[in-house]
Structure 1
Amino acid sequence: MSSDPTSATGNGGVLQIHHGRRLPDFLQSVNLKYVKLGYHYLMTHLLTLCMIPLMSIVIIQASQTNPEDIRHLWHHLQYNLVIVITCSAILVFGSTFFLLTRPRSVYLLDYSCYKPPSHLQVKYKKFMDHSKLTGDFDDSSLEFQRKILERSGLGEETYVPEAMHHIPPRPSMAAAREEAEQVMFGALDNLFENTKVKPKDIGILVVNCSLFNPTPSLSAMIVNKYKLRGNIKSFNLGGMGCSAGVIAIDLAKDMLQIHRNTNAIVVSTENITQNWYFGNKKSMLIPNCLFRVGGAAILLSNKSSDRRKAKYKLLQTVRTHKGADDKAFKCVYQEQDEAGKTGVSLSKDLMAIAGGALKTNITTLGPLVLPISEQLLFFATLMAKKLLNAKVKPYIPDFKLAFEHFCIHAGGRAVIDELEKNLQLLPVHVEASRMTLHRFGNTSSSSIWYELGYIEAKGRMKKGDRVWQIAFGSGFKCNSAVWQALRNVKASPNSPWEDCIHMYPVQIVT
């Protein structure tokens, strides 16, 4: 809405709102807004409001009780040793059972996102010039890539690996290993420096990279580099797409439930060097225009003593897998084209499949995070539709009541647009995703961490704030992680946004 929300029109001298609604309609919507706010407040504090009259009755009754009766009851209990011992035993046993079986809290101590050196930046013109000089693309493919770049939401400062800056490109195994080492070790070096945690203190290591899986594994490369201990529980996740970062967090969370008093590191990255497509199939050219160099390292702990220095506490993880459906399974698919050139093909049904996966995911997540007021509204509309066959629009829960911040995977402009529309979010809620896409491109599974870094760098993360990280990936998968800030969180030293946050947000050209 503009700074001048109203304007006089010639339509019978009726004052209209900026979006074309007449003043009475606008006032009605304002009234409905406050009615809904009142409803949410009432439902949120319903138990408290019901307890007030109940407590009043109890206090009044207690004040009218004969003191002699209370003394008689106390005297009876005082000498009934069996009851006292039994109650004490039950209390001790129950407390012990609860402490031993309750889920251990998982804390995020810190994380670090890799920022590549400036000489790896690729501007639109350089990208197109190199594409022409390679001689692998026909005129139609070059024009297609140019249009995708212009509409992608990427800026002029994203990064591609060293091998892609040569003419012709040099996508060798050695170059791919070099890219992986630069990204993973760069993020880990900064993480260890910021947290002062020693590599020998790491008990669990989870690495995810979808398209590059050498032998020895990427997790073994990290163990070798930092001389991690011999009994470390290490995992290497491959082929799981852009949502693997949340899967890695979920796996680390499960391992932290088993192993006491230890730290876990999650490394999320993707490797571009050997996965650039040099053919002319349009659906396989899109990843060239969107995917860029990036990675993140995250330090987790299950030690209760670490709570005071942790940034966040993990509240929920919800994973949705649509792989049983053939269309969903093949909508992001690595294959060879007719000329035998390998690439990742994106189906035209991708957004519809992502929407279905999102619906399933939030159906599971909603009851875990939404206030009871939203759950009741959702349940009421669902029952009306199912039982009464009423033509009622499905109620979209207001997730803004559950979360203060949203980290939507920066997979592309269309992904962010769809979630903004379907979840009825405001521009500020998707700002971190849009700006991450603009500054760093699609860094695959690590993008949600660059987005969290953006929110911190802007000084928006306050104690108690809840963050929803949501990502989509091949398979097809939609995964969510929910965190809560344990303090006012500031960006850590050497954040990737450190030298440029003052320039953001920028206007994205449509």
Structure 2
Amino acid sequence: MDDESVQNRTRKYVKPSYHYLITNFLKLLLVPLIAVLVTNFYRLSLNQFLLQHQYNLFGVIFSVAIFGSTLFFMYRPRSVYLLDYSCYLPPSNLQIGYEKFMNRSKLIDNFHESSLEFQRKILNRSGLGEETYLPESILCIPPRPTMAAAREEAEQVIFGAIDNLFDNTKINPREISVLVVNCSLFNPTPSLSAMVVNKYKLRENVKSFNLGGMGCSAGVIAIDLANDMLQIHRHTFALVVSTENITQNWYFGNNRAMLIPNCLFRVGGSAILLSNRARDRKRSKYKLVHTVRTHKGSDAKAFNCVYQEQDETLKTGVSLSKDLTAIAGEALKTNITTLGPLVLPISEQILFFANFLAKRLFNGKKKKKKKKPYLPDFKLAFDHFCIHAGGRAVIDELEKSLKLLPKHVEASRMTLHRFGNTSSSSIWYELAYTEAKGRMRQGNRVWQIAFGSGFKCNSAVWVALRDVKPSVNNPWEHCIHRYPVKIEP
């Protein structure tokens, strides 16, 4: 047999067998023990077994304990740590204030005078400040919504966030085994995830995922997917990139429901580095505790409330329904029904359960006034809230529904004011705000809440592993001293 045949056989049979043996060593070790125990119990009755092995009973109990402990450690969920994350800060020449926004809009012939006035009113009530950012392609006169320009925007945002993340963590890109990129409206070929693989020369066997069309809640979905992958692949890193692309998704028509996103969405993106290596705990910022996902897509009203379509003149845009806030509230209720038992103290769970029973008992009686459902006090479960900065109305609704205080929604309001709606990455700008303010202490629990088309409400819960200081090039480091600012009603 020649050397080439030997090498082929080794590659085909020996190496896979070796990797399987090492990976499943503990499982294979348990097989003889299980066989011995089953055989003994099969041959002897319980009394005979105890009689004959009365002096070896301790050994049997010890073996069973070892067996149970091994199973527990083998199948328990692996801890996932957040080493660091980075939010993209665009250059100052891309800032867009109210007047600059309106002046650029007036130069676009497509807009009617009534549409311009509508945009002005939306801007004034939006909660956005004067320092948000738009891509260069939209600021150009005339705008340049080409595929090439959209790629440029994606590269600037994604590479900008990842470069800063790698500089801060000193991680070799070749160590990354899992890559998840989410961008709802821009999905070129090759994909954005392939663009990242190409740029940073990631390894050939990297598990790469590209999520599209999942809206502003996709950031939590991406974290959930990365977490699932890190339960399978041992001792490795996962890179999650969350962004949105504006260049080819700017609406140039006069449908008011489609004009609203023009006034809210702005440039932004984030890169997050996760690890399942136990030794990375000491240098990590947070540990992932829970992810809870709610999908209301089976309801037609919820499905259609955020909808990409063409208007009567065949101009493409994203239409936002007037019922969006109410639908978001219903999705939140469903989400917290699952999340509550996982995070609330037992005192709140008892109250919730008692209210549930009372509602079932008394609501069925016509003469009795219906009891309102008890809303748990989530302020007892969380120290910080990162509510998706989708718009002023969304933040107002959640502040009211969850009975939060102004300090609990400060990060969300200030992120909306400084950066606008950056879609799936907004919850990371909010976390960065909390860190920049020096408010994150060891043991603090963080609730990230995001809403997205479909309609979805997703939650991620983190616990701080130490007093967290802002990372280098935190997007707030040059302006945090000016915040919080007062936002006019």
Class of the TM-score when normalised by the shorter of the 2 chains = 0.7 to 0.9
TM-score (norm 1): 0.84
Once the two structures are superposed, what CA deviation does each residue of 1:353-386 show, in whole Å capped at 9, x if it has no partner? 1111000000000000001110111111111111
**Once the 2 structures are TM-superposed, how far is the Cα of residue 352 of structure 1 from its aligned partner?**
1.2
Q: Distance in 2 between matches of 1:217 and 1:300?
A: 22
**Once the 2 structures are TM-superposed, how far is the Cα of residue 152 of structure 1 from its aligned partner?**
0.2
2:132 is matched with: 158
Q: Distance in 1 between matches of 2:201 and 2:361?
A: 62
Residue in structure 2 matching 1:302, options 258, 267, 276: 276
Matches within 5 A, 1:105-124: 105-124=79-98
Q: Distance in 2 between matches of 1:394 and 1:215?
A: 48
One-letter amino acid of the counterpart of residue 238, structure 2: A
Are positions 1:192 and 2:166 aligned together? yes
Are positions 1:86 and 2:60 aligned together? yes
Are positions 1:477 and 2:456 aligned together? yes
**Once the 2 structures are TM-superposed, how far is the Cα of residue 136 of structure 1 from its aligned partner?**
1.4
Residue in structure 2 matching 1:486, options 448, 459, 465: 465
Are positions 1:461 and 2:440 aligned together? yes
Q: Distance in 2 between matches of 1:221 and 1:94?
A: 46
One-letter amino acid of the counterpart of residue 473, structure 2: N
For the residue of structure 1 that corresponds to 2:56, the secondary structure is helix
Matches within 5 A, 1:32-431: 81-389=55-363, 391-431=370-410
2:430 is matched with: 451
For the residue of structure 1 that corresponds to 2:158, the secondary structure is helix
For the residue of structure 1 that corresponds to 2:189, the secondary structure is coil
**Once the 2 structures are TM-superposed, how far is the Cα of residue 94 of structure 1 from its aligned partner?**
1.0
Q: Distance in 2 between matches of 1:81 and 1:267?
A: 60
Q: Distance in 2 between matches of 1:98 and 1:245?
A: 31
Q: Distance in 2 between matches of 1:332 and 1:320?
A: 16
**Once the 2 structures are TM-superposed, how far is the Cα of residue 104 of structure 1 from its aligned partner?**
0.2
**Once the 2 structures are TM-superposed, how far is the Cα of residue 143 of structure 1 from its aligned partner?**
0.3
Q: Distance in 2 between matches of 1:201 and 1:80?
A: 53
Q: Structure 1 regions of 5+ residues with no counterpart?
A: 1-78
1:505 is matched with: 484
Structure 1 vs Structure 2: percent identity of aligned residues?
77
CA RMSD after TM alignment: 0.8
Q: Distance in 1 between matches of 2:221 and 2:397?
A: 23
One-letter amino acid of the counterpart of residue 82, structure 2: L
Q: Distance in 2 between matches of 1:366 and 1:143?
A: 43
Instruction: Count residues in correspondence.
Output: 432
Q: Distance in 2 between matches of 1:458 and 1:214?
A: 38
One-letter amino acid of the counterpart of residue 407, structure 1: C
One-letter amino acid of the counterpart of residue 404, structure 2: L
**Once the 2 structures are TM-superposed, how far is the Cα of residue 392 of structure 1 from its aligned partner?**
2.0
Q: Structure 2 regions of 5+ residues with no counterpart?
A: 1-52
**Once the 2 structures are TM-superposed, how far is the Cα of residue 80 of structure 1 from its aligned partner?**
5.2
Instruction: Using the TM superposition, name which of 349-358 and 423-432 deviates more.
Output: 349-358
For the residue of structure 2 that corresponds to 1:472, the secondary structure is strand
Q: Distance in 1 between matches of 2:79 and 2:234?
A: 11
One-letter amino acid of the counterpart of residue 209, structure 1: C
Q: Distance in 1 between matches of 2:309 and 2:93?
A: 31
Q: Distance in 2 between matches of 1:172 and 1:94?
A: 60
Q: Distance in 2 between matches of 1:475 and 1:326?
A: 10
One-letter amino acid of the counterpart of residue 162, structure 1: E
Q: Distance in 2 between matches of 1:235 and 1:81?
A: 57
One-letter amino acid of the counterpart of residue 355, structure 2: T
One-letter amino acid of the counterpart of residue 121, structure 1: Q
Q: Distance in 1 between matches of 2:239 and 2:378?
A: 30
**Once the 2 structures are TM-superposed, how far is the Cα of residue 284 of structure 1 from its aligned partner?**
0.2
Q: Distance in 2 between matches of 1:388 and 1:445?
A: 42
One-letter amino acid of the counterpart of residue 317, structure 2: G
Q: Distance in 2 between matches of 1:88 and 1:204?
A: 39
One-letter amino acid of the counterpart of residue 309, structure 1: R
**Once the 2 structures are TM-superposed, how far is the Cα of residue 393 of structure 1 from its aligned partner?**
2.1
One-letter amino acid of the counterpart of residue 189, structure 2: T
Once the two structures are superposed, what CA deviation does each residue of 1:451-481 show, in whole Å capped at 9, x if it has no partner? 0000000000000000000000000000000
One-letter amino acid of the counterpart of residue 499, structure 1: H
2:415 is matched with: 436
Q: Distance in 1 between matches of 2:197 and 2:141?
A: 34
Once the two structures are superposed, what CA deviation does each residue of 1:331-367 show, in whole Å capped at 9, x if it has no partner? 0000000011000000111111111100000000000
Once the two structures are superposed, what CA deviation does each residue of 1:115-136 show, in whole Å capped at 9, x if it has no partner? 0000000010010001001111
For the residue of structure 2 that corresponds to 1:316, the secondary structure is strand
One-letter amino acid of the counterpart of residue 470, structure 1: I
One-letter amino acid of the counterpart of residue 256, structure 2: K
Q: Distance in 2 between matches of 1:347 and 1:382?
A: 32
For the residue of structure 2 that corresponds to 1:387, the secondary structure is helix
Once the two structures are superposed, what CA deviation does each residue of 1:291-334 show, in whole Å capped at 9, x if it has no partner? 00000000000001111111000000000000011111110000
Instruction: Using the TM superposition, name which of 212-221 and 80-89 deviates more.
Output: 80-89
Once the two structures are superposed, what CA deviation does each residue of 1:484-508 show, in whole Å capped at 9, x if it has no partner? 0000001000000010000000000
One-letter amino acid of the counterpart of residue 109, structure 2: G
Q: Distance in 2 between matches of 1:491 and 1:91?
A: 45
Q: Distance in 2 between matches of 1:490 and 1:368?
A: 28
One-letter amino acid of the counterpart of residue 425, structure 1: L
Q: Distance in 2 between matches of 1:272 and 1:149?
A: 17
Once the two structures are superposed, what CA deviation does each residue of 1:129-169 show, in whole Å capped at 9, x if it has no partner? 01001111101100000000000000000000000111110
Once the two structures are superposed, what CA deviation does each residue of 1:193-228 show, in whole Å capped at 9, x if it has no partner? 000000000000000000000000000000000000
